[in-house]
Amino acid sequence: MLFKNVLVPLAAAVVFALSPANAGLRSSGSAADDSVAFRLNAAHTNSIVFSGGFSANLTPLWTSHIIGPDYFMDSIVANGTVFVIQRVQAGTPGDILHAFRLSDGRELWFKKFKKHVGDGFSAPAYDNGMVFVVDQSNKVYALSASNGKTKWEVSPPKQPFSNIDPIVGNGEVFLSSDGNQKYSSIYGL
C-alpha cells in the first residue's frame, strides 16, 4: 500500500508522495488501494489496514511544488492519480484542482474555479472516471479525471452544501446540507 501525504506551507504548497522503505508495500494500482473520498474509507474514520504490515521508514517518492497564495488542501487518490484541491486565500480568485500522476508526481492538468471550492471542509470525490467538487455557491461540478474538462455542472436547491464533501458511487452523487439551517437535507443527483 502506498502511503500518501499532503504538506502545505503558507507561501508554496509542496505535495509529497511517501513510500515505505519496503517496496513490497507499494500500491498495486488496484481500485482497492484508491482513496476516493475524504478520510480514506467509506466510514470516514481514516482507518487503514496494511495487508503486508507497515514500516515507519518512509522515503519520498516524489515532490511537486504548487506555487500560489494557498492555505489548505484536500486530496484523494484514484486510478493512479492524486487529485488535490488548492484552497486560495480569501479575497483572491477561486480554488484550483490539480491532478498529479501517482507514480512520479508529474502534473497532468489543473482546473481553476471562479469561486472557492467549499469553505475549508469540502474535498473532491471520485467515481467512474469523474471527479466531483462543490463550490461556495453550492454548484456541483463533474470533471473528467483524465483531462479536467467539465462534463456537467448543476446548482441544487439553495442549501449550504459547500462545506460538505460530495459522496459518490455507482454513478450517483449525494450532498448533505451542513445543518446550519432549521433543518438538514440530503440531495441526490
Most confident range (mean pLDDT) of 36-45, 65-74, 138-147 is 138-147
Q: What is the pLDDT of residue 155?
A: 80
Q: Is 13 helix (H, G, I), strand (E, B) or coil?
A: strand
CATH of region 3-188: 2.40.128.630
pLDDT band at 5 (very low <50, low <70, confident <90, very high): very low
Most confident range (mean pLDDT) of 15-29, 76-90, 141-155 is 141-155
Q: What is the pLDDT of residue 106?
A: 94
Q: Where in the chain are the domains?
A: 3-188
**How far are the Cα atoms of 49, 112, 123 from residue 40, in angstroms, in the given order?**
11, 25, 11
1 contacts: CB under 8 Å, gap ≥ 6: 25, 26, 27, 33, 48, 50, 51, 52
Average pLDDT value for the chain: 69
Quick one: cell of 72?
Answer: 489548505
The pLDDT of residue 165 is above 60:
yes
pLDDT tens by residue, 117-140 = 555 447 888 989 999 988 777 788
The pLDDT of residue 15 is above 60:
no
